[in-house]
A = this chain, B = another copy of it.
Amino acid sequence: MKTKIIVTLKSGILDPQGKAVEHALHSLGFNGVRGVRIGKFIELELDGDNAEKGRIDEMCKKLLANPVTEDYKIESPTGK
């Protein structure tokens, strides 16, 4: 089963990468752009036991996201 995970910085945390992209967009003439935040998008295929929501949660907490500074959202584990 295909699963998508989106990892984003928590709202209080500074995002220098986002700021850099914002400045670059401004210098390209896209002036109305604000609040750029960059996160990670992770796609993976799971089978059997690993496809449970709890298992994916565990992967996020142990490796994919840093729970101190990042939030994560799991998309599309249809069913469980």
Chain A contacts to B: CB under 8 angstroms = 6-8, 21-22, 24-25, 28, 30-51, 55, 58-59, 62-64
Contact = CB atoms under 8 A, between A and B. Distances in A.
A22 to B, nearest CB: 8
Count of chain copies: 2
B37 A43 contact: yes
21 contacts: A21-B42, A21-B63, A22-B44, A25-B59, A25-B63, A28-B59, A28-B63, A30-B50, A32-B46, A32-B48, A32-B50, A33-B46, A35-B43, A35-B45, A36-B42, A37-B42, A38-B41, A38-B42, A39-B41, A39-B43, A41-B41
3 closest Cβ contacts across the A-B interface? A32-B50, A39-B41, A35-B45
